[in-house]
Amino acid sequence: MNGMMGYESYLDIAPEVREALASGVPVVALESTILSHGMPYPENLGFAAEVEKVIREEGCVPATMAIVGGRIKAGLTEEELEIMCRAENVGKVSRRDFAIYVASGKTGATTVASTMMCAQMAGIRIFATGGIGGVHRNGENTMDISADLQELANTPVAVVCAGAKQILDIGRTLEYLETMGVPVIGNGTSDFPAFFCRKSGFGVDYAAKDEEEIARILKTKWDLGLKGGALIGNPVPEEYAQDFDEMEKVIVKALAMADEAGVRGKNITPFLLATVKDLTGGESFKSNVQLALNNARCAAKIAKKLSELG
Ligand code: PSU
Ligand code: MN
């Protein structure tokens, strides 16, 4: 051919992940933007270790995705995790940034969209995160819609999340997913969760009773050759949930601050995440950690069942 190479030559799969994939041990993908741009250092380092532990406890192997020095990484060493957590000169990489970071040898944290891309390249089907990107409030005017949603429409990876933060227009986010044909499944809930809160007031397409049922739906979707992924909404554990109306006040304030500071484009989400964290202090951070660990456990259970189904 015209000198083009397969993606394999750009991809480093960690030895443990490679072995697991070869021997049929289920693997769960994790993103790195939640570390680099979603949590403070060094707390993110503790979280990174803990989330990997939760996945191992369920009999699965974790694979955190990132681009390090232009190499696509599926599974990070401790040193690489440290780089992502320190987040010095670590960009935020979504689909549009992907080739630029690889070609120019840069280091970047992967979002939900680009983590799904990495997972597909490595042959991983299940991915756990905190919250997904979506249609922003006033998105009907700004057209600010996260690339996460298109990725769910096109890439065969199931994303387990605690819903979407109230920084977004959750109703329009769900409408967009419906238009794109992405199944939105609740894990034991008929209400799509709102990250810090167990309910958003918007329904899911289907309330699955447990991880086994979710695994069966995913297997069926992919057996049928239906394109794309699925979104699994797994509510934050009751004891770590925050009050919806209190959170709404915080979000309104954060949105006003973003507007005043003239924040645009890819910087909006990190700005809102950081501002909400500052305004709510340690309480919301604790919820954030616990809901992400809860998602990792759910994702690992789904991955295990999916591998048993064969
Ligand atoms: N929402 C959160 N925490 C996060 C993100 C979103 O509550 O860490 C991150 C995820 O990596 C997500 C990305 O994929 O932000 C979406 O960014 P954007 O809206 O620019 O697509
Ligand atoms: Mn955006």
pTM: 0.97
pLDDT at 215: 99
* Separation CA 266–CA 93 (nearest Å): 9
Q: Is the CB of 133 under 6 A from ligand 1?
A: yes
The ligand 1 atom nearest the CA atom of 37: 8
The ligand 1 atom nearest the CA atom of 113: 14
* Separation CA 296–CA 56 (nearest Å): 10
Nearest CA to ligand 1 atom 11: 111
The ligand 1 atom nearest the CA atom of 195: 7
CA-based angle 130:135:136, to the nearest 5?
A: 90
pLDDT at 284: 87
283 included as an active-site residue: no
* Separation CA 39–CA 287 (nearest Å): 12
pLDDT at 282: 78
Dihedral sign for Cα atoms in the order 86, 90, 95, 99? negative
User: Active site residue: 31, 58, 80, 151, which one?
Assistant: 31
Burial class, 11, CB count within 10 angstroms (exposed 0-12 / middle 13-18 / buried 19+): middle
Task: Say if CB 281 and CB 43 are below 8 A apart.
Answer: no
SS3 (DSSP) at 256 = helix
253 included as an active-site residue: no
pLDDT of the chain, 310 residues: tens digit per residue:
567 889 999 999 999 999 999 999 999 999 999 999 999 999 999 999 999 999 999 999 999 999 999 999 999 999 999 999 999 999 999 999 999 999 999 999 999 999 999 999 999 999 999 999 999 999 999 999 999 999 999 999 999 999 999 999 999 999 999 999 999 999 999 999 999 999 999 999 999 999 999 999 999 999 999 999 999 999 999 999 999 999 999 999 999 999 999 999 999 999 998 999 899 987 889 999 999 999 999 999 999 999 999 8
pLDDT at 91: 98
Task: Say if CB 154 and CB 182 are below 8 A apart.
Answer: no
Domains in the chain with CATH codes: 1-124 (3.40.1790.10), 126-310 (3.40.1790.10)
User: From the CB of residue 141, how many other CB atoms can be counted at a distance below 10 Å?
Assistant: 8
DSSP letter for each residue of 173-185: HHHHHHHTT--EE
SS3 (DSSP) at 122 = helix
pLDDT at 2: 67
Q: Is the CB of 273 under 6 A from ligand 1?
A: yes
Tokens representing residue 292 in the block: 């992400």
